[in-house]
Amino acid sequence: MQDPKNPIMNPEKGSVDVAVSAYGKPYQTAVTLLTLMKHSGQWIDKIYFVEEKKQPEIVSYKFLYKIFTGRIIRYKPLFWFAYDRIGTKLRRIGVYRRAIRYQYAWEKTNKKYLLLIHNDMYFKDDLVGQYLMNIGDHTGIGKVGQCWNCPAHSAGRCSGENYLQYRPDYNEIMEMSAQYPGPRSPVYEAYIDRNTPWPLPECRLNEYVSMINIKKARPATAPFGKATPIGSNNAIDTGVEWFRDVSRMGHTFRHFDYEPYATHSWVSLRNSGHEALFNSELYKYEESVALQCLMDEFNYKP
């Protein structure tokens, strides 16, 4: 599955740092990092572990810090923005900007590549190695597009593989949205730039398990460049505005199906761990499954 244009035949060990933001789910977070290191540890140097200022309940990550002593760089932001949009003025102030998801690692890493992950992943194989061999000259690699929400995908006109080639005008996008309405179609009219409608509103590098060539991306992104930080939210989702900004600068992304190598929201298999943060019973159930996984697979003793 190597990129035929520019494969990396011999990836460099220790050339990747990891960025993970922990909002609750300590046991799922531990499963995420332990399975990642089990399969891809040879490529990874540091883990930038951001413990969010606010948590859904009283949690402790101390056991996890002990497991990864010497590898984890801990950071706790002074602010909690949740899914709020961060204005340009606040992004100029470091303590605010570094509270945006992934941003602390984005500014501090000295590696060429930064792996962005959610804290509810289960890695089954060496995804990082595959990313390294396939990223080529692209700015990032992972699944491109929230195609399950996209009218253009429903119409059979676009996908993660050909997002660069399909560039409809504003009227065509709105016609497709009316014919194949998605859950976020009502906000498209306000969000889409009529003169420059590409990328499509659901296009992004799905940040929950993606890898960035930080040497290419960082100069283009705040505070160094004009692009919105990747962890920022807009009317659509996390990372959409960043993807739009850098794509219009000429950056490209390699679509790569991670699913043979990793599972997102592996306990519930709902493609999102978001729901459990607002459902106490579901949250407790998912954490109990993760704890059992830690005991069975990693001989963890609580």
For residue 92, the domain's CATH number is: 3.90.550.10
* Domain annotation covers residue 5: no
pLDDT band, very low/low/confident/very high, at 8 (cuts 50, 70, 90): low
CA dist., res. 136 & res. 117, Å (int): 20
Answer yes or no: do 113 and 261 share one domain.
yes
Is 7 a member of any domain? no
Q: Residue 196 falls within a domain, yes or no?
A: no
Stretch 162-185: mean pLDDT, rounded?
A: 94
What's the pLDDT score for residue 7? 53
Examine residue 301 and state whether it is found in any structural domain, yes or no.
Answer: no
**Of 133, 158, 191, which residue is a domain's last?**
191
Confidence of residue 103 (pLDDT cuts 50, 70, 90): very high
Q: Is residue 102 part of a domain?
A: yes
What value does the mean pLDDT take over residues 21-43?
Answer: 96
Full domain range(s) for residue 228: 16-144+204-295
> What is the percentage of the chain residues whose pLDDT exceeds 90?
76
Does 97 have pLDDT greater than 70?
A: yes
76 and 33 share one domain: yes
**Same domain membership, residue 104 and residue 85:** yes
Q: How far apart are the first and last CA of the chain?
A: 40
Tell whether 36 and 173 lie within a shared domain. Answer: no
Distance CA 122, CA 293 (A): 10
Q: Is residue 197 a part of any domain in this protein?
A: no
* Residue 287, φ and ψ in degrees, nearest 5: -70, -35
pLDDT for the residue numbered 39: 98
pLDDT of the residue at 72 = 97
Last residue of a domain, one of 191, 212, 227: 191
**Same domain, yes or no: 160 and 174:** yes
Same domain flag for 27 and 112:
yes
pLDDT band at residue 94 under the 50/70/90 scheme: confident
- Residue 82 φ/ψ region, left for φ over 0, alpha for ψ in the -120 to 50 degree band, beta for the rest: left
Number of domains the chain is built from: 2
Contact status, residue 16 vs residue 44, Cβ threshold 8 Å: yes
Tell me if 10 is assigned to some domain.
no
Residue located via tokens 């000259």: 137
pLDDT at 9 over 80: no
Contact present, 281 and 272 (Cβ < 8 Å): no
How do residues 212-266 score in pLDDT, each as one tens digit?
Answer: 999 999 999 999 999 999 999 877 899 999 999 999 999 999 999 999 999 999 9
Q: What is the pLDDT of residue 274?
A: 58
pLDDT for position 92: 73
102 plus 180 within the same structural domain = no
List, as one string, the DSSP characters of the chain.
---SSS--SSPPTT-EEEEEEE-S-HHHHHHHHHHHHHHHGGGEEEEEEEE-SS-SS----HHHHHHTTTTEEEE--S---TTPPPPHHHHTSHHHHTTSTTHHHHHH--SSEEEEE-SSEEE-S-HHHHHHHH-TT-SEEE-B--GGG-HHHHTTS--TTSTTT----HHHHHHHHHHS--TTGGGHHHHS-SS--PSPTT--B-TTEEEEEHHHHGGGBTTTSSBPPTT---SS-TTHHHHHHHHHTT--EEE---TTTEEETTTT-SS-STGGGG-HHHHHHHHHHHHHHHHHHH----
Q: Of 30-39, 116-125, 193-202, 229-238, give the lowest mean pLDDT range.
A: 229-238
pTM over 0.75, yes/no = yes
Co-location of 290 and 181 in the same domain:
no
Least confident among 151-155, 173-177, 282-286, 290-294:
282-286
pLDDT band at 88 (very low <50, low <70, confident <90, very high): low
Higher pLDDT, 87 or 192: 192
Please state, rounded to an integer, the average pLDDT across all residues of the chain: 91
The answer on 153 and 131 residing in a single domain is no
The pLDDT value recorded for residue 272 is: 53
Looking at the fold, whether 49 and 90 belong to one and the same domain comes out as yes
* Domain contains 4: no
Q: Are residues 264 and 154 in the same domain?
A: no
Q: What is the mean predicted confidence (pLDDT) over 143-154? A: 95
Among the residue ranges 109-118, 132-141, 184-193, 264-273, the one predicted with the least confidence is 264-273
Q: Residue 55's pLDDT band (boundaries 50, 70, 90)?
A: confident
Q: Which two tokens stand for residue 44?
A: 């990874």
Query: Within a 13 Å sphere around the CA of 114, how many CA atoms are in the beta-carbon half?
Result: 24
- Pair 138, 214 in one domain: yes
The count of residues in the chain is: 302
Domain stop point among 160, 191, 222 = 191
Residue 192 has pLDDT above 70, yes or no: yes
